């Protein structure tokens, strides 16, 4: 890592992010392999994580990362080939490697880099020795193994069979059921219009009766028998039409009620597809409990109950940090040391239970332990010591009132700070997250029997209130939780400072940008001197976003986008409006990041009539396809700095969808990627009649002659090895293929 250009510090930050993400994948995989060391799926996922990390480290220029990842990859490959079986010793060593991965990128000064290189060298030697059957001396000491148990799922009868189904099939079901629900609502206004027809027909019948009475009472006007017969026939037919119309309308109303109810039921069932099993949120807790318990010298058994309990995917994503805090607290504050548990007549192995269940329309998640409970006397003393209450008041507090003090920011009962606790953060963070989703948390305890924290959460976050706006003729939903203010801004209120447009809002200057530029739609043309502005962000990161029109507020039922699209930039999800029209729900955090990118690159457009983005539109478009965040960002920055309009895709399937949905002048792709590799992507492009003329460049760490030939045989126009990668080489290759950035 020494000698890295300071200008690439941001790329090292991205590499550090990727290293942490891959470390989490490896950690989860190793805990799973401790229980099932021959599982091919877990071995493949772990090997791929190490493989991706190696490629990213080579591109950025972090040789210590290449060495470490390569050694770990060799170990997983040996396990896949059956040459070794991963035992507890292997798992211990590989988890040490995961810890070293996290350190990569953090070592910026010379001393830290030297220490890291020395540790990695020692680690690789020990790991290789273990692969050769030798014992690693530093790992021979016995440490208690935290046990992880999962509550056995109840046996399923034929009436409750579980079937496997593709996620995209379920998403389509949700979309179709939403459309069905919208269509069912069409019957209500149609039924009302038919009632108006019925009233008109009734009025016509009454007029006919009056005509009949008039002709009958007129003695002078003698009608022949045929006229009387015709009049009677008209009266009879009119009465029959009235009867049948009444019956059909009654049937239509019954059908309306049944179809609307059925469509709602189908939609509710389809909406349940958003739910994920609770087990999806528990993968990282095993390593965390293992590390904390070992560090404290305790023996812990983690029991996970309710793994199949269905949880809204949005809530599930928020649970990681709160549950991590509660589990660490349970190990550190709850479970006693083995010697103390023996003295109390308890089993030496402490038990922590993580449970999820549904009850009374809510989701309940609890973390309980069989430890010492909360020392209420010590808690009272801490409350008085921190001057949160005087002694008399503290003495009168009930147990429930005392326990509420645990959630105060900065509150701790520990006198000394350790690696695990004592800083007074954790429980207040748990409460903050729970409140964000309109939930609650409570704690109960029993002396020497344990403590239980219970989170009560809503079942779903699938319905959100949104501001509907029009941008370039398309409706978009902006979640109101992220909207600061809406206002109509006169053009005279816009100022220009250092080349950027601003306006005054709440006593500060707020930057101005159009939603057209964020979403990369047609250039914005102001229809009048007044601009419709939505203020998003906080503090210095606040911006006013100009939209074409405000369309009002709606409650939107969130429909996830097709997973094959990957992460769509600036878009969070989709929804249906009441008239059946689809709209996209904006990811306003993404919007802010897009604005910051535009500001940083000096491409922020001006708001006003004729403010077109010709420079962007005329730039040649390049698609970068790579599953490594670090590599994608490196190539994107290099090309964007030379004026190319760059889009990115996270893997081969994402890239294939991108080239079919937009026009590009060039595709740059890696080879080894999940779902669809680079060779398959090149083959698909070159076989497509509409895409075959588009140049494709392969950029891969594989530099063997056979790899190069394989890529060129698939149709690639250029092959560049990451091992000899440097900035100018990529730029020169792109220019050779498509010329300069602008026409």
Q: Rounded to an integer, what distance in angstroms lies between the CA atom of residue 515 and that of residue 545?
A: 6
Q: Rounded to an integer, what distance in angstroms lies between the CA atom of residue 734 and that of residue 443?
A: 61
Closest CA to 52 of 91, 11, 83, 21: 21
DSSP-derived letter for residue 398 is: -
**According to the model, what pLDDT value does residue 353 have?**
93
Residue 145 and residue 91 in contact, taking contact as beta carbons nearer than 8 Å? no
Q: How confident is the model at residue 685 (pLDDT cuts 50, 70, 90)?
A: very high
**According to the model, what pLDDT value does residue 600 have?**
67
Statement: residue 347 has pLDDT above 60? yes
Statement: residue 20 has pLDDT above 90? no
**According to the model, what pLDDT value does residue 1 have?**
45
Q: Rounded to an integer, what distance in angstroms lies between the CA atom of residue 446 and that of residue 425?
A: 23
Statement: residue 90 has pLDDT above 90? no
Weakest-pLDDT range from 61-75, 146-160, 575-589: 146-160
Of 516 and 107, the structure prediction assigns the larger pLDDT to: 516
Dihedrals phi, psi of 646, to nearest 5 degrees: -110, 130
| Mean per-residue pLDDT, 87-99 | 83
| Mean per-residue pLDDT, 457-462 | 68
Element holding 629 (H helix, E strand):
helix 629-641
Average pLDDT of the chain, as a whole number: 78
Statement: residue 561 has pLDDT above 80? no
Q: Which residues have C-beta within 8 Å of that of residue 123, sequence separation ≥ 6? A: 68, 71, 93, 96, 97, 100
Q: C-alpha dihedral over 159, 161, 163, 167, to 10 degrees?
A: 80
- List pLDDT tens digits, range 351-371: 999 999 988 667 899 999 998
Token digits of residue 504 = 């005054």
Question: Do the domains at 6-142 and 619-738 have one common CATH topology?
Answer: no
Closest CA to 734 of 617, 637, 644: 644
**According to the model, what pLDDT value does residue 616 have?**
40
Statement: residue 529 has pLDDT above 60? yes
DSSP-derived letter for residue 444 is: E
Q: Rounded to an integer, what distance in angstroms lies between the CA atom of residue 545 and that of residue 426?
A: 36
Statement: residue 725 has pLDDT above 70? no
Nearest 5 degrees, angle CA 605-CA 511-CA 600? 60
**According to the model, what pLDDT value does residue 253 have?**
78
Q: Quick one: 6-142 is in which CATH superfamily?
A: HPT domain (1.20.120.160)
Statement: residue 236 has pLDDT above 90? no
Q: What 3-state class would DSSP assign to 52?
A: helix
Q: How many residues does the chain have?
A: 743
Weakest-pLDDT range from 192-196, 271-275, 519-523, 721-725: 721-725
Of 546 and 628, the structure prediction assigns the larger pLDDT to: 546
**According to the model, what pLDDT value does residue 356 have?**
92
Residue 419: how many CA atoms within 13 Å on its side-chain side? 8
**According to the model, what pLDDT value does residue 27 have?**
82
Weakest-pLDDT range from 87-91, 221-225, 242-246, 637-641: 221-225
Of 338 and 414, the structure prediction assigns the larger pLDDT to: 338
Residue holding tokens 């101005």?
512
**According to the model, what pLDDT value does residue 545 have?**
92
Dihedrals phi, psi of 161, to nearest 5 degrees: -70, 145
Statement: residue 453 has pLDDT above 90? yes
| Mean per-residue pLDDT, 55-61 | 79
CATH fold for domain 619-738: Rossmann fold (3.40.50)
- Cβ neighbours, 10 Å, residue 185: 16
Closest CA to 456 of 480, 435, 429, 486: 435
Ordered by start, the domain boundaries in the chain are: 6-142, 167-274, 288-458, 463-612, 619-738
Statement: residue 307 has pLDDT above 80? yes
| Mean per-residue pLDDT, 274-287 | 78
Strand partners, 720: 699
Token digits of residue 433 = 């997250």
Statement: residue 588 has pLDDT above 80? yes
Of 136 and 676, the structure prediction assigns the larger pLDDT to: 676
Weakest-pLDDT range from 159-168, 510-519, 692-701, 724-733: 159-168
- List pLDDT tens digits, range 472-489: 888 999 987 678 889 998
Q: Which CATH architecture has domain 288-458?
A: 2-Layer Sandwich (3.30)
Of 433 and 451, the structure prediction assigns the larger pLDDT to: 451
Per CATH, the number for 463-612 is 2.40.50.180
Statement: residue 743 has pLDDT above 70? no
- List pLDDT tens digits, range 390-445: 888 888 888 888 888 888 877 776 654 444 444 344 688 888 888 777 677 889 99
Q: Rounded to an integer, what distance in angstroms lies between the CA atom of residue 52 and that of residue 54?
A: 5
- List pLDDT tens digits, range 132-182: 764 434 333 444 444 445 554 444 444 445 555 665 676 667 667 766 766
Sheet of 696-700: strands edge to edge?
645-649, 621-625, 666-669, 696-700, 718-721
């Amino acid at each position: 890592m020494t000698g890295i250009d300071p200008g690439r510090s941001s790329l090292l930050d991205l590499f550090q992010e990727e290293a942490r993400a891959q470390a989490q994948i490896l950690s989860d995989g190793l805990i799973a392999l401790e229980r099932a060391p021959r599982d091919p799926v877990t071995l493949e996922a772990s090997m791929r994580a190490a493989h991706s990390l190696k490629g990213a480290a080579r591109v950025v220029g972090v040789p210590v990362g290449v060495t470490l990842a390569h050694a770990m990859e060799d170990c997983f490959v040996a396990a896949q080939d059956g040459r070794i079986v991963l035992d507890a010793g292997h798992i211990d060593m590989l988890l040490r490697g995961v810890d070293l991965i996290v350190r990569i990128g953090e070592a910026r000064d010379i001393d830290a880099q030297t220490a890291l290189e020395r540790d990695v060298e020692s680690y690789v030697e020990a790991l290789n020795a273990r692969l050769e059957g030798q014992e690693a001396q530093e790992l021979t000491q016995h440490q208690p193994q935290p046990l992880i148990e999962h509550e056995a799922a109840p046996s399923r009868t034929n009436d409750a069979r579980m079937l496997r189904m593709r996620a995209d099939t379920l998403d389509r079901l949700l979309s179709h059921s939403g459309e069905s629900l919208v269509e069912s609502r069409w019957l209500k206004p149609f039924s009302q219009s038919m009632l108006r027809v019925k009233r008109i027909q009734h009025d016509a019948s009454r007029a006919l009766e009056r005509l009949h009475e008039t002709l009958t009472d007129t003695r002078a006007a003698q009608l022949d028998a045929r006229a009387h017969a015709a009049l009677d026939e008209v009266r009879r037919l009119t009465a029959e039409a009235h009867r049948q119309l009444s019956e059909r309308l009654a049937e239509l109303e019954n059908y309306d009620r049944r179809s609307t109810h059925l469509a709602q039921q189908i939609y509710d069932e389809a909406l349940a597809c958003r739910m994920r099993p609770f087990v999806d949120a528990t993968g990282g807790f095993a390593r965390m409990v293992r590390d904390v318990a070992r560090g404290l010298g305790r023996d812990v058994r983690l029991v996970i109950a309710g793994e199949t309990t269905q949880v809204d995917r949005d809530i599930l994503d928020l649970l990681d940090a709160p549950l991590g805090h509660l589990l660490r607290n349970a190990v550190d504050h709850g479970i006693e040391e083995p010697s103390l548990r023996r003295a109390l007549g308890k089993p030496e192995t402490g038990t922590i239970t993580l449970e999820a269940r549904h009850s009374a329309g809510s989701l309940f998640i609890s973390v309980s332990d069989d430890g010492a409970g909360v020392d209420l006397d010590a808690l009272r003393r801490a409350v008085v010591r921190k001057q949160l209450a005087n002694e008399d008041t503290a003495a009168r507090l009930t147990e429930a009132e005392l326990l509420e003090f645990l959630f105060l920011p900065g509150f701790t009962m520990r006198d000394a700070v350790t690696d695990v606790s004592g800083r007074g953060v954790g429980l207040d963070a748990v409460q903050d997250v729970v409140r964000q989703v309109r939930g609650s948390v409570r704690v109960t305890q029993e002396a020497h029997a344990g403590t239980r924290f219970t989170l009560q959460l809503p079942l779903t976050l699938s319905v959100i209130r949104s501001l509907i706006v029009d941008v370039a003729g398309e409706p978009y939903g902006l979640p109101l939780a992220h909207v600061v203010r809406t206002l109509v801004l006169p053009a005279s209120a816009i100022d220009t400072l250092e080349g950027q447009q601003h306006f005054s809002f709440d006593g500060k200057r707020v930057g101005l940008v159009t939603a057209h530029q964020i979403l990369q739609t047609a250039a914005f043309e102001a229809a009048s001197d007044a601009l419709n502005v939505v203020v998003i962000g906080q503090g210095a990161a606040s911006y006013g976003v100009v939209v074409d029109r405000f369309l009002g507020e709606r409650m939107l039922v969130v429909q996830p986008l097709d997973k094959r699209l990957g992460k769509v930039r600036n878009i969070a999800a989709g929804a249906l409006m009441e008239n059946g029209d689809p709209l996209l729900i904006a990811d306003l955090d993404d919007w802010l990041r897009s604005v910051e990118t535009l500001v940083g690159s000096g491409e922020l457009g001006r708001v006003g009539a004729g403010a077109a983005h010709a420079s962007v539109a005329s730039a040649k478009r390049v698609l970068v396809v790579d599953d490594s965040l670090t590599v994608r960002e490196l190539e994107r920055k290099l090309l964007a700095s030379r004026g190319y309009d760059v889009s990115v895709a996270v893997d081969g399937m994402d890239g294939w969808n991108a080239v079919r949905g937009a026009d590009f002048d060039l595709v740059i792709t890696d080879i080894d990627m999940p779902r669809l590799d680079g060779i398959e992507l090149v083959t698909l492009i070159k076989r497509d009649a509409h895409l075959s003329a588009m140049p494709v460049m392969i950029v891969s760490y594989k530099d063997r002659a056979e790899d190069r030939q394989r890529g060129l045989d698939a149709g690639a126009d250029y092959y560049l090895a990451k091992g000899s990668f440097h900035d100018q080489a990529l730029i020169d290759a792109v220019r050779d293929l498509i010329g300069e950035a602008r026409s």
